[in-house]
Structures are given as structure tokens and as C-alpha cells.
Chains A and B, each alone.
Chain A
Amino acid sequence: MNYQQTEIPDYNFAYLDEQTKRMIRRALLKAVAIPGYQVPFAGREMPMPYGWGTGGVQVTAAVIGPEDTLKVIDQGSDDTTNAVSIRKFFARTAGVETTEKTADADIIQTRHRIPEHPLREDQILVYQVPIPEPLRFLEPRETETRKMHALEEYGLMHVKLYEDIARHGHIATTYAYPALINDRYMMDPSPIPKFDNPKMDMMPALQLFGAGREKRIYALPPYTKVKSLDFEDHPFVIQSWEDVCGLCGAKDTFLDEVILDDQGNRMFVCSDSDHCNERQAKGHRGPQNRDDSLTEEVAL
């Protein structure tokens, strides 16, 4: 469907009215100019509940144009409810092309993952963010966290990570892992697994973050330094698995654990469904997917 050819559209292009889009666009421009700083914006009610990506949807609606191709993922997957409903929302209100292929997308809206396929300079990654303030669970008052950001006073977060080490022997934070942006602002990368944090560092693509309920927008320009917090004697490490993907045999992707029955059987599969399908199409097979010709032997 081409939006421009429809007779009388039910909504303005991409649902939001032009004044709202201008307000969001101005917030986005300031967010890009101050990497990692949360810009307040007048978040609107969207036709979906808070927690379903209303922030990301508003950012996408302000950014997307009729020529763009959109991909939406939820925990890496293109075919879960949240991803399907947001993709349909924009197909209907903006008439844009949608895709499940990371490489074919101009704009990728994501909930809680960064695609495994490296992103390019001409792509924009839009994150759905539930709690944008990394210090919120340590200091509930906005007046105080705002002051802490102004003074670059992030000792509290280091204490939190230190307490992790004292109690568990290692930093137990595994998702929404705080990072320092361009040596200045501490930023919550949204609840992506810490596995994805290194991908944000010096990423060629522009990264935009929208928090609908909290009404905050922030951004990472391309090629911006993103340093995950750590200690000299407890350096930042990402998750690793002893298993491989049961379907495609990948050893270097983020894996989801799937319980198969009540006998304790389980399998691991790539969280990024597009990446996994692409590998299977190339003939890669994992241990639970060995019915036909094998092109890759998986050592178990």
C-alpha cells in the first residue's frame, strides 16, 4: 500500500499530528547534541498501553518517512505479539514497507535486543525504554537524580556494582547494564542483555531511545564511545554459553533457553530470529535440527 495514493486517510501520516512530531523532533535533535542525556518531552497517549513501547513508537513516528523500510523486534524476535502489532501499526498508519531482515531495514524499532547482524551508517535503531533513569532504583527523586547527572556524581552506581561483588562474587547485573557515554553521562541502555552493550560502542548507526511513560528521549550519535561500568579487578564481561543454538548451531549469539518438557529437557536457540533463520538458510544446523544434510558439525 502506498500511503500517498490512499483516498482519505484515517490519520495523519504515521498517526501523530504534525505539532507533536515537531516537538519530538526538536527533543531528538537536542538528545543527539547531548549524547546520553535524557531530554524530557511531552509524551502522548498512544493507542497501546504503557509498557508496550509507546516511547519507541512515538520516536519512530516522528522519524519515519514514506520511503523507509521498518523492522520491529521484541527480544530479538520479529514474530512476537509486540513486534507484530507495532509493525502492523506503522504499515497501516504510515503505509511503509516492513521487513524482517535486519539488512533490508532503514529503521529498526527494538525491545530489549540489538540485532546480531552489524548495523550500517544508513540505519537508525529505535529502542523502547521502560525506565530511562539508570539511578532511579537507587534514588527515587527526580530532583536528586537530575542533580547527580549535572554534577557527574555516579558513585552510587559503583557502590551498587560493588555490593554485587561483595554478595555474589561478581557483578550480578546482566541486563540494563549502565554505561558511561562519551566519558560524561551515565545511561541506561534499556533492558538489553549486557551481551549487547559492546555493540553500542562506536556503532555506525544512529541510536534513539524513547520512554513513553517516563516521557524521556535520549540518543547516541554514531561513533560514540560507550563504556560499560566496571572495576579494574572486575572488568566488564558479557554472557557466554556452554551450549550452542539448537537450530542453527551458532556459538557467538545471545541464546534463549527453551524448556521442552517436565523431564528437565531444554534447548537453547538464538534470540535473534532473523539471524538464526539466515544461518539455517545457509545450511547451518544445530543439534536439535539435524534431520537432513549437515553442513556444519557441531562439537558437543
Chain B
Amino acid sequence: MDLGPLTAPLSGLENPAFASNRIFRDVLEALSRPGTVVPAPENLETPGKLNRAATGFLLALADMETPVWLSPDIRDIQTEKHLKFHTGCPVVDQCGQAVFAVADARTSNFDFLNSLAVGNPEMPHQSATLLIMIDGFTGPAALTLTGPGIHSKAVLAPDPIPDALIQWAQANQRLFPCGVDLIFAATSSLAALPRTTRIEV
């Protein structure tokens, strides 16, 4: 494997025990209260095309037990080296093997969505978590969210939000208890749509 030119690796999480706890708690908050926008870690070096929220998420939660799949448009040698160096995670070619899959709402081809692992009725937790990188949460179209974790109704306006992704997410909700959990990773913030959340446009 060609590792490319020899360059000093970017630094990972500073003070990992505390930083990864902070990131996890924010992700936990986002997943248990769908539609809630939580901050991404500040001052984090990001490899290749990954943004801060996605990098922080992977550094905090990925390790040798979690195959990571990167959409071809964001996969490069620097990103791969960075993730392997800091987390030891395998970077896989087949998205069906991934525990964490990462794509970019602007540039990725979304044909892969239906190949992600959704678990099975006896083991619904053996499913992928999908990170979609976006710009922010001030998009023109707001999604209306209902379901566990939401008092009555929540709104979320990911920017950008491809139609293919919304349609897939609505179909994904109907697979419950199977399904993929979706994380929107913006540059400086993050929000989540677990498989339980019903989405109306």
C-alpha cells in the first residue's frame, strides 16, 4: 500500500479521556433528543475533507472494533492514515461492513445508502451509524421531527439536505427496530436522527 509522502501526522484529541467524554456526551444528547444541535469540538485538526464534527466523532468513538467506510469522494490517503494512526480503525472498501460510514451531502453519490448494515430483527443493534457532513443547520427547508426523545415536535434544517437522503431516511424509519442511525456533522455542530425519528418535510 502506498502511504504517500512522509509527513508528520496531524494531532488527535488533546487529553483524550476528557475530550472523548465530552464528544460522547454531546453525541448522546443529540441522539437521545433528535433535532437538538450540539457543539463540535473546537481546535481540532481535520484530515483531508473531514470536518471537525465528523473528525471528533470518529476519534472519540472509533477503534479497532469498528470498520469505517469513507465515501470515495472524501477518501484520501491522509484521512485514512489519520484515522488509522489515532484510532486503529480498519478503513473498509465495502460500506456494508461499516460500523461508521461517512459521506458528504454536497459531493457524495448516495447510491450506497441501501447497502448499509441495518441489523436484523433479532440483532437490530448490529447496524451502521451514518455520518453526513453538511455546512450547518440553517437550511431553507426545515424537517419536522417526532418520536422518542422529542417532547412534541422538533425542527431541524440541515444545509444542504439532498432529496435522496430524506427519502431514504423516511424509509429507514419504517424498518424499525432495524435501521441506520443518522448523524449530521456540520463544521462546528452536530445533530442526529436515530432510526426512531419520523421525518416530515
- A residues adjacent to B (C-beta < 8 A): 4, 12-13, 18-19, 21-23, 25-35, 37, 39-40, 62-66, 146-147, 149-151, 182, 184-185, 206, 219-225
Contacts and interface: CB of A to CB of B under 8 A. Distances in A.
Contacts of B60: 22, 25
17 contacts: A13-B21, A22-B61, A26-B66, A29-B27, A29-B181, A30-B125, A33-B181, A34-B124, A34-B196, A147-B122, A150-B120, A150-B121, A185-B177, A222-B149, A223-B149, A223-B151, A224-B148
Contacts of B65: 23
B164 interface: no
Interface string B134-178: 000000000000001111000000000000000000000000110
Most buried by A among B18, B125, B129: B125
A224 B149 contact: yes
B48 interface: no
B28 A26 contact: no
B28 A29 contact: yes
Contacts of A206: 28, 32
Interface string B42-59: 000000000000000000
Contacts of B106: none
A42 to B, nearest CB: 9
A43 B172 CA distance: 30
Contacts of B123: 146
B194 A33 contact: yes
B32 A221 contact: yes
Most buried by A among B22, B122, B127: B122
A68 to B, nearest CB: 9
B195 A34 contact: yes
Contact of B25 (A4, A13, A63, A220): A63
Nearest to B124: A34
Contact of A32 (B20, B25, B28, B122): B28
A7 to B, nearest CB: 16
Contacts of A32: 28, 31-32, 149, 194
A19 B18 contact: no
B20 A29 contact: no
A147 B121 CA distance: 8
B16 interface: yes
B33 interface: yes
B176 A184 contact: yes
Most buried by A among B32, B33, B194: B32
Given A30-B125, A182-B148, 9 more contacts: A21-B20, A26-B99, A29-B61, A33-B194, A34-B176, A34-B196, A65-B18, A221-B33, A221-B196
A103 B20 CA distance: 27
A92 to B, nearest CB: 16
A33 B177 CA distance: 9
Contacts of A35: 148, 196
A22 B20 contact: yes
A25 B63 CA distance: 12
A184 B177 contact: yes
Contacts of B121: 150-151
A59 B181 CA distance: 21
B88 to A, nearest CB: 9
A223 B124 contact: no
A28 B62 CA distance: 14
A33 B69 CA distance: 21
B148 A25 contact: no
Most buried by A among B16, B17, B25, B129: B17
Given A63-B25, A221-B149, A37 B17 contact: no
Contacts of B177: 34, 37, 184-185
Nearest to A207: B32
A19 B28 CA distance: 17
A27 B129 CA distance: 12
Report the 4 A-B pairs with minimum CB-CB distance, sorted nearest first: A221-B149, A150-B121, A33-B194, A30-B125
Most buried by B among A21, A29, A39: A29
B122 A27 contact: no
Most buried by B among A37, A39, A221: A221
